[in-house]
Amino acid sequence: MAKQTASKEKTPKQKASNRKPINLALQGGGSHGAFAWGVLDRLLEADCFDIEGIVGTSAGAMNAAVLAHGLAVGGPATARAELRRFWEGVSETTRYSMLKPSWLDRMIKPGSMEFSPGYQMMDALTRMLSPYQLNPSNINPLRDVLASVVKCEDLRGCTSVKLHICATNVMSGKIRVFQNQDVSIDAVLASACLPFLFQAVEVDGEHYWDGGYMGNPPIYPLIYDCAARDVLIVQINPIRIEELPTTAHAILDRINTLSFNSSLMREMRAIHFVTKLIDNGFNDEGRLKRMLIHTIDAEEQLRGFGASSKLNAEMEFLERLYTLGRERADAFLTDHFDKVGVESSTDITEKFL
């Protein structure tokens, strides 16, 4: 509570400046999306940005849809309340789930479930059987949670916030970016469809898996569809790790992280290239757009939790990630708010290249 009080004391200084337009790019990462919840909660509390566009993938897509809906129907205070209601609903779905940390997990590595019998059994089953066999009724508890918070008709008619939800077309391998006018609960679930847990989601006759395979998240919709030059990336998947993965779980987790970060790093390379062209005096007769990149992350903490923690939706763990997100967002506002609209606060070369 003391930390949140300290954060509020900084808000008047931030509000004294003109509100700044910004776009948000929200990564996916299962339960680690609660870190982004904390980031968004602090930014909304500060109320110093005009959010023009939001792009999200997987858990980031859910955060994006809830955030956009809250802003559309009631503004920052409503968005904060709806984000909390959503994540509390996510936690409620696991009340009777076998995916819970064991006492040993709680002692050795809080948040992870590597010693959980339920997690180990599920992990083994998903390596042998597909979700079409394990879950033939295609039950997804997140559907009801999402539908209880987000009314898609409000998003389709919204012009104040531009929403972009990313999914991967299973058959063509192409990226699909759903926008306000075609957002649905199915579209958001498609963006978060991990193929070893859920059946592919059908939207408009096409089948989709998690958007992270093609863009986690894609930045280009914000470049082409939004006037604001600033993009704040809420990064969940760590780029760097400190130890060589040697266990099966650690290797698989690193493979997924590399895959889910690859498209973002390619786009950062392209943005860096265009920025250098502009700096050298070439802007293609004004057609090149200088983008200003900012990031909020907690690489050291999030990489320490391990792959199993991304399926841990206990409220105690979610609140821990939420608090971490608020702290990192508060540090960003203190250290980098003045740079928004002026220059990038993230060194693309150092962080991504």
Q: What is the pLDDT of residues 3-37, one digit of tens each?
A: 443 444 444 344 445 799 999 999 999 999 999 99
**Residue 71 clears pLDDT 90, i.e. is over it:** yes
Say what the pLDDT of residue 8 is. Answer: 45
pLDDT score for 96: 81
pLDDT digits (tens, 9 = 90+) for 161-210: 999 999 999 999 999 999 999 999 999 999 999 999 999 999 999 999 99
**For the chain, what is the mean pLDDT?**
92
pLDDT tens-place string over residues 73-120: 999 999 999 999 999 999 999 888 888 999 999 988 889 998 999 999
Q: How many residues does the chain have?
A: 353
318-330 tens-digit pLDDT = 999 999 999 999 9
Residue 178: which residues within 8 A CB-CB, separation 6 or more? Answer: 164, 165, 166, 167, 184, 187, 191, 203
> What pLDDT does residue 99 have?
87
203, 187 Cβ separation under 8 angstroms: yes
Phi, psi (degrees; rounded to nearest 5) at 312: -90, 110
Residue 11: its pLDDT value, please?
47
- Has residue 153 got a pLDDT over 70? yes
Alpha carbon separation from 290 to 115, 247, 270, 328 (Å, rounded)? 48, 43, 11, 26
Sole residue written with tokens 């609209």: 341
DSSP state of 48: -
Find the mean pLDDT for residues 226-246: 93
220 CB-near residues (< 8 Å, 6+ apart): 267
pLDDT at 4: 42
Q: Which residue has the higher pLDDT, 251 or 206?
A: 206
> Given this model, what pLDDT does residue 10 score?
45
Q: Which of 49, 40, 29 is nearest to 217 (CA)?
A: 29
Burial class (CB in 10 A: 0-12, 13-18, 19+), 132: exposed
**Higher-scoring residue by pLDDT: 43, 251:** 43
Say if strands 20-26 and 49-57 run parallel, antiparallel, or are unpaired. Answer: parallel
How many other C-beta atoms lie within 10 A of the C-beta of residue 12? 9
Q: For the residues of 278-329, what is the DSSP string, one character each?
A: HHTT--TTTT----EEEEE--HHHHHTT-GGGGG---HHHHHHHHHHHHHHH
Give pLDDT, residue 277. 95
| Higher pLDDT, residue 9 or 304 | 304
Mean pLDDT over 241-245 rounds to 87
pLDDT greater than 50 at residue 266: yes
pLDDT, average across residues 205-232:
96
pTM, entire model: 0.93
C-alpha–C-alpha distance, residues 262 and 39, integer Å:
23
Strand 292-296 with 230-234, pairing: parallel
Q: Are strands 206-210 and 201-203 parallel, antiparallel or unpaired?
A: antiparallel
Q: Which two tokens stand for residue 138?
A: 């295609």
Between 76-92 and 33-46, two packed helices, what is the crossing angle to 10 degrees? 160
Q: Report the distance separating Cα 257 and Cα 302, nearest Å.
A: 12
Under the phi-then-psi rule, with left for phi > 0, alpha for psi from -120 to 50, and beta for the rest, what region is 293? Answer: beta
Query: 240: closest CA among 184, 182, 304, 325?
Result: 304
Distance between CA atoms of residues 62 and 4, nearest Å: 25
Higher pLDDT, 17 or 131: 131
pLDDT at 242: 85
Q: How far apart are CA 270 and CA 235, in angstroms?
A: 18
Task: Yes or no: say if 90 and 37 are a contact pair by the CB < 8 Å rule.
Answer: no
Residues 219 and 228: their CA atoms lie apart, in Å, by 13
DSSP code per residue over 52-90: EEEEEETHHHHHHHHHHHHHHHT-HHHHHHHHHHHHHHH
Torsion, CA 256, CA 239, CA 104, CA 101, rounded to 10: -60
Looking at residue 323, its pLDDT comes to 98
pLDDT at 2: 38
- Distance of alpha carbon 143 from alpha carbon 155, whole angstroms: 17
For the segment 334-353, what is each residue's pLDDT rounded down to a tens digit? 999 999 999 999 999 999 98
- On the question of pLDDT at 1 being above 50, the answer is no
202-217 as b/e, with b when 16 or more CB fall inside 10 Å?
Answer: ebeebbbbbbbbbbbb
